[in-house]
Amino acid sequence: MNTKKNHIVEPAHSKRFLMDFRIPQGQTKHPLVIFVHGIKGFKGWGTWDLLGDCIANNGHIFAKFNFSHNGTTLEKPDDFEDLESFGRNNYMLELEDLDAMINHCTSHAEITEHWNGKNIALIGHSRGGPICLVKAAHDPRITKLVTWASVATFDYAWQDEKVLTDWKENGVMYRINSRTKLAMPLYYQLYENYLQNKDILNTEKAAKDLSIPWLIIHGTEDTAVTDEAAKKLLTWSTNADIALIAGADHTFGGKHPYTLESLPPHSESLVEKTIEFLNR
């Protein structure tokens, strides 16, 4: 396997970000798979490398990246060193980043030499799920979609009117990172950006418009995003299949840092189901 890490991508908004890619051995042309992390996530988190190895070893070019405003930096791609950027992130920026990532992967010589030129699958975890769903519904280059422990809507965390009122008055709210204990800012512009782009960010409409195969995978013991989100997504689509992994949590047994050489059992199930779907 040919692996390259921390390769720079330059989106239209000019805040550069980093990506990794894995290319299977051999001269065969392969499908391309792009993985999208969620909020408080990053490309080097926990089990993502091992999962990427499994997918690449089963005949797919596997690429993953840090969103430009996920709080990491070019110098420290696995640490939240830029909380100001984290606070300035929004969904339209993430869609721009994903578009730049697709453009980069489909034009970069090291990748295109091995890509079959037609198959592009997106895999989105948690809040990366709806980003991938919306992109897949509107970009004809995407041929398959997989969502792992995805939220169903972009406003999933904003159902409390008092929270919204306080957020608007203060201009910022904070999310505590359970691992690092960092108080990570979310500026009110995130909600304003969502309101301004509600039509684009309508996941129910995107799911109904989606015309490509879609696999929804969720754990039954996910306390961060319950499997009701997966079931809701399923009801909106005529092209989706669902796979519930009994006992699995939000990260399918993964954690950060992850130092074992083998995947946890629930992640093994996750990658087996994913590869089977990608290979159909």
Segment 67-117, tens digit of pLDDT: 999 999 999 999 999 999 999 999 999 999 999 999 999 999 999 999 999
Using alpha carbons, list the distances in angstroms from residue 61 to 54, 100, 257: 11, 17, 24
pLDDT number for residue 38: 97
Query: In the β-sheet with 144-148, what is the strand arrangement from edge to edge?
Result: 2-9, 17-23, 61-65, 30-36, 115-125, 144-148, 214-219, 240-245
Domain 2-161+198-278 grouped into CATH 3.30.470.20: no
Residue pLDDT tens, the chain, 280 long: 999 999 999 999 999 999 999 999 888 899 999 999 999 999 999 999 999 999 999 999 999 999 999 999 999 999 999 999 999 999 999 999 999 999 999 999 999 999 999 999 999 999 999 999 999 999 999 999 999 999 999 999 998 999 999 999 999 999 988 888 999 999 999 999 999 999 999 999 999 999 999 999 999 999 999 999 999 999 999 999 999 999 999 999 999 999 999 999 999 999 999 999 999 9
pTM check: above 0.95? yes
Residues 172 and 246: beta-carbon distance below 8 Å? no
Taking the domains of the chain in order of start, what are their residue ranges?
Answer: 2-161+198-278
Q: Cα–Cα distance between 202 and 180 in angstroms, integer?
A: 32
pLDDT number for residue 114: 97
Segment 169-188, tens digit of pLDDT: 999 999 988 888 999 999 99
Q: Cα–Cα distance between 155 and 264 in angstroms, integer?
A: 31
